[in-house]
């Protein structure tokens, strides 16, 4: 199974991406880990095809946050489509929060 690389730029200007053959990674794994720890992203190739990526933990954590936000947005859209929720303007949100605060202070 081959995965196409999307034509989008997700890296920062100072991010370093290193492409390595799988046997190079295997033979110098400790050095690869050091590079990753220092912010380098390593794309692993096997038979001239990209098969995996090793990234710094901070990048992975950011990816997880983004994936979670996407899942929440999809669920919110599904709830709206099922009629279980509706879009609320920012002005309406402020009004509702103020009402909730007043009710809490009055109690």
* Domain range 16-57, CATH class: alpha beta
Residue 40, judged by CB atoms within 10 A of its CB (0-12, 13-18, 19+), counts as middle
Give the pLDDT confidence score for residue 5 in this predicted structure.
42
Token reading at 56: 């710094």
Give the pLDDT confidence score for residue 30 in this predicted structure.
97
Domain boundaries, the chain: 16-57
Give the pLDDT confidence score for residue 96 in this predicted structure.
86
Regarding pTM above 0.75, the answer is no
Residue written as token pair 């989008």: 8
Which positions of the chain have pLDDT values less than 50? 1-10
Q: What is the CA radius of gyration of the chain?
A: 23
Give the pLDDT confidence score for residue 32 in this predicted structure.
96
């Amino acid at each position: 199974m081959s995965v196409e690389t999307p034509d989008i730029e997700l890296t920062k200007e100072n991010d370093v991406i290193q492409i390595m053959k799988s046997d190079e990674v295997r033979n110098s794994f400790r050095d690869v880990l050091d590079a990753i720890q220092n912010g380098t992203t390593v794309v692993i190739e096997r038979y001239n095809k990209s098969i995996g990526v090793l990234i710094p933990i901070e990048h992975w954590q950011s990816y997880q946050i983004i994936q979670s936000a996407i899942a929440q947005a999809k669920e919110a859209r599904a709830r709206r489509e099922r009629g279980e929720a509706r879009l609320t303007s920012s002005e309406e949100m402020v009004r509702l929060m103020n009402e909730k605060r007043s009710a809490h202070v009055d109690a």
